[in-house]
Amino acid sequence: MKKQTVFVSSPLFSCLRISCVTALLFTLGACGSSGDGDSGSNSATGSGGGSGVASEIKLLAVDDGVNGLEPWKTDGTAAGTAMVKDINPAPGVSSLGSDFTAFNGEFYFKGNDGVNGSELWKTDGTAAGTVMVKNINPATDPLFDPTTGATVGPRGFTVFNGALYFQVDDGAHGYELWKTDGTAAGTVLVKDIDPATGSSSGAYNFTAFNDALYFSAYDGVNGTELWKTDGTAAGTVMVKDINTQASGSASPAFLTVFNDALYFRADDGVSDSELWKTDGTAAGTVLVKDINTVTTSGSVIFEFTVFGGALYFQAYDGMNGAELWKTDGTAAGTVMVKNISPAGSSLPSDFTVFNGALYFQANDDVNGIELWKTDGTAAGTVMVKDINPVAGLGSFPVLYAVFNGELYFRADDGVHGVELWKTDGTANGTVLVKDISTASDSFPVSFFVLNNALYFNANDDESGNQLWKTDGTAAGTVLVKDFNP
């Protein structure tokens, strides 16, 4: 039984969640063409030449057991799956490419060639076109921060207004806001927000809204607050000092655009972490509602999703536990949708819009964590199916992708382990697609649609973690390629 890890672990998951990190989708033969640089999407498309066949390619980070973790590409076939370039040529040593983002028809990421440290790289899908954009930190930095253990190098890539923004430490200013146009000369520090020598503003949570890029940052004076930039140093400013208490930080999180405003969670030092919104001005940056007026812990808002003219999220009001809430942007219109778990907290999460409803996982304290959906009303908030019928255990569904009119996810029915499932929104239409690992869990992750099939990473206990695809049937759920045969 082989247990070879093939795909890179995403920093968003625990070390047990092996992730096939993917981000760039482009037309074969047109890799260098210009995409929609302002879209903020992770795809780039070109008209292409050659045969004229619109064959799409996906970029992955793969460890084949020989070259370490390197960039690969696939068209969905075994023959069309190949390593793009061995960036770090030392045998078995990884370049640790990550944070893949499409911009102007190319694919930008963090890579380490073993000489220059973790730097900004780009690829057009060819070995010759896979190059370091700029050696931002000329000191050869380690792969991991010796203090925090976090990976170092550029991160948080976001496309905005014809440039790619990110945070990086150049060895002099700490982690600050940078941007690139894809050239070395055009890769520049936007502003040293925290000017103390070597200190970092830690700019993150980048979200485009109303001709500006919003983010959270620390200037060394006001704590971590809401900032915005137009791409210039002069136009990079704090929107509002929300938490004015000494050493206080609002710590804005979950920045989400909805109804001509930017919504987020923030702590003003009085109401604790609650629901806020901004129109981009200090005066227009306001508390929407103090949801939890009972305790001093705040409403602990989590995971915003726009659906059906409202913004949905998880929140705790101090009386009903962490439940499903929605807002129309007003205090009166910020309400709990349903108290799913009257005895505790249902902890709704993994929100996914599908077929006119909002799907999520929740725990009603009877059936355990199962698949739920809502139409925005209490009566219309229901469990789709008790996938694991053993009382209180739950199937722990994690929602991933909509494909061919169905919603695909992974779940554990208590018999087959963690496997691939799908639903059409009904109990009868919620079914196991295939028991990929008959011995244990295949643990499917990292779904993406390519060339009329749904691809994902799974472990069949024979080949280890590999690339799989499905057409929605058991017979059509197959291994694409064994990267380390």
Percent of the chain with pLDDT over 90: 74
The pLDDT > 70 percentage for the chain reads 86
Compute the distance between CA of residue 176 and CA of residue 380 in angstroms, rounded to an integer: 46
pLDDT-based confidence at 311, cuts 50/70/90? very high
Q: Are 441 and 428 in contact (CB under 8 A)?
A: no
Non-local (6+) Cβ contacts of 412 within 8 A are 387, 388, 395, 396, 418, 419, 441
Q: Tokens at residue 56, please?
A: 């799409």
Give the pLDDT confidence score for residue 484 in this predicted structure.
87
* CATH 2.140.10 fits domain 22-481: yes
Q: What's the whole-number mean pLDDT along residues 451-458?
A: 95
Q: Name the residue with tokens 């925290």.
A: 194
Q: Is the pLDDT of residue 51 over 80?
A: no
Q: pLDDT tens digit string along 402-435?
A: 999 999 999 999 999 999 999 999 999 999 999 9
Cα distance between residue 18 and residue 446, in whole Å: 9
Q: Tell me, what's the pLDDT at 442?
A: 96
What CA–CA distance (Å, rounded) separates 260 from 213?
A: 15
pLDDT tens digits, one per residue of 187-226: 999 999 999 877 888 889 999 999 999 999 999 999 999 9
pLDDT of residue 24: 40
Q: What is the mean pLDDT of the chain?
A: 87
Instruction: Give the CA count within 13 Å in the CB-facing half-sphere of 416.
Output: 21
Q: Higher-confidence residue: 100 or 308?
A: 308
Two structure tokens written together for 3: 């247990």
pLDDT at position 93: 80
pLDDT at 139: 78
Q: What pLDDT is recorded for position 149? A: 53
Domain-wise residue ranges, the chain: 22-481
The gap from C-alpha 446 to its chain's centroid, in whole angstroms, comes to: 10
Question: Which pLDDT value is given to residue 143?
Answer: 57
Q: pLDDT tens, 254-291?
A: 999 999 999 999 999 999 999 999 999 999 999 999 99
Q: Which helix (H) or strand (E) holds 237?
A: strand 237-240
Of residues 149 and 251, more confidently modeled: 251
pLDDT for residue 213: 98
Q: How confident is the model over 104-124, as a mean pLDDT?
A: 93
Point out the least confidently predicted range of 4-8, 83-87, 445-449.
Answer: 4-8
For residue 137, give the DSSP letter: S
Rounded Cα distance, 477 and 447, in Å: 13
Q: What is the per-residue pLDDT for 246?
A: 84
pLDDT tens-digit map of 126-164 = 999 999 999 999 875 655 555 555 567 899 999 999 999
Residue 164 vs residues 39, 120, 130, 463, 473: alpha-carbon distances, Å: 11, 11, 17, 38, 40
Measured CA to CA, the distance from residue 188 to residue 176 in angstroms comes to 11
Nearest Cα residue to 203 out of 225, 181, 184: 225
Q: What is the pLDDT of residue 351?
A: 97
Question: What number is the average pLDDT over the span 39-47?
Answer: 32
Whether the per-residue pLDDT at 390 is higher than 60: the answer is yes
Helices (H), 154-260: none
